[in-house]
Structure 1
Amino acid sequence: MSTGPDAILNFRRIDAQLTTSGQPTADQFAALAALGVRHVVNLGMSDHPRAVAEEPTILDALGIGYTHIPVPFDAPEEAHYQTFRQAMVAHGGTPLHVHCIVNARVTAFLTRYRREELGMDDAAARAPMDSVWQPGGVWAEFVGDTEAVARAHRFAGRDY
């Protein structure tokens, strides 16, 4: 199995300083370090079966900083977003990787951040999210897509 960054579930390069993905394996963190990543933000829950329990230790050994903002998939809150926003601002000048379990939480948070903080138009702000999924329910509400609140999540390419 490949350990390069393209092998990480739903890996996306957003720009020269920012990449996102689902949960990397222990071996794939080295590939992120080789890309120049210097800080990782994790929005996944530590008790998820795909979570890597030793993630903070692995990243520390690679010289990569770590911020964990556990976001329950069924209950994203404004406080989670504000903590995420602060982390993005604090580490915006360094190569940053943001992940969760399948890159759904991350792309939703990133949609809001790109629209609200960076002033991007909606289509550009949500492009990374649309390449992974189209949220319904609480996540549609979270990203401000009121028309999709009553719909189920739709995942691009496969069900997770």
Structure 2
Amino acid sequence: MNKILNHIKINELISTSGQLKIEEFELIANEGFEVVINLAVPTTSNSLENEDKIVASLNMSYIHIPVNFENPKISDLKLFLNILQSLGANKVWIHCAKNYRVSAFMYVYHKYILNTPFEEIDLTIFDIWKPSLIWQELMKVSIEDLSKA
């Protein structure tokens, strides 16, 4: 797992990363992951063609929420949060191109769903990626804003 691009283990049920290679999908399937959520758009430079079929061939479910990196929307975040909550005890791998979109969304998930104290959130990805203003604003979203989206 250590060689997977920008991998972060959130807990026993959730891990995140940048784009996986075909053999890495096999690795996570062998580790018991049941669902893959992809937040990258299909035109991302390192995306895999037919990723949905690759994931399905490994007996995992595939969910694609294409989030425009230049213009993420609160509605994208709300959909992500609702889907992730609905998966309950399923083991989930969430990725995008470099784990930037995912990390921003997971920050909000930590804040409002897991109620993780700030000092316990793994923020190492932000040593690599400095979120633009639009991403910073999205990460500051309130529960009220999410409910209106």
State the partner residue of 1:151.
Answer: none
Q: Structure 2 length as normaliser, TM-score?
A: 0.87
Task: Tell me if 1:53 matches 2:49.
Answer: yes
Show structure 2 runs of 5+ residues with no match: 142-149
2: CA distance, partners of 1:128 / 1:85: 21
Asked if the contact 2:6/2:125 (under 8 Å) is kept, the reply is no
Task: Tell me if 1:103 matches 2:65.
Answer: no
Residue 86 of structure 2, aligned match among 90, 101, 125: 90
Paired residues, what number? Answer: 141
Q: Secondary structure at the match of 1:6?
A: coil
State the partner residue of 1:148.
Answer: none
Show structure 1 runs of 5+ residues with no match: 146-160
1: CA distance, partners of 2:64 / 2:73: 15
RMSD: 1.7
1: CA distance, partners of 2:124 / 2:106: 8
Residue 114 of structure 1, aligned match among 97, 110, 131: 110
Shift in Å at residue 71 of structure 1? 0.3
What is the letter of the counterpart of residue 90 of structure 1?
S
Residue 22 of structure 2, aligned match among 7, 26, 31: 26
State the partner residue of 1:133.
Answer: 129
Asked if the contact 1:8/1:22 (under 8 Å) is kept, the reply is yes
1: CA distance, partners of 2:111 / 2:101: 16
The verdict on how the C-alpha distance between 1:132 and 1:51 changes in structure 2, with shifts beyond 3 A counting, is same
2: CA distance, partners of 1:74 / 1:49: 15
Q: Structure 1 length as normaliser, TM-score?
A: 0.81
What is the letter of the counterpart of residue 122 of structure 1?
F
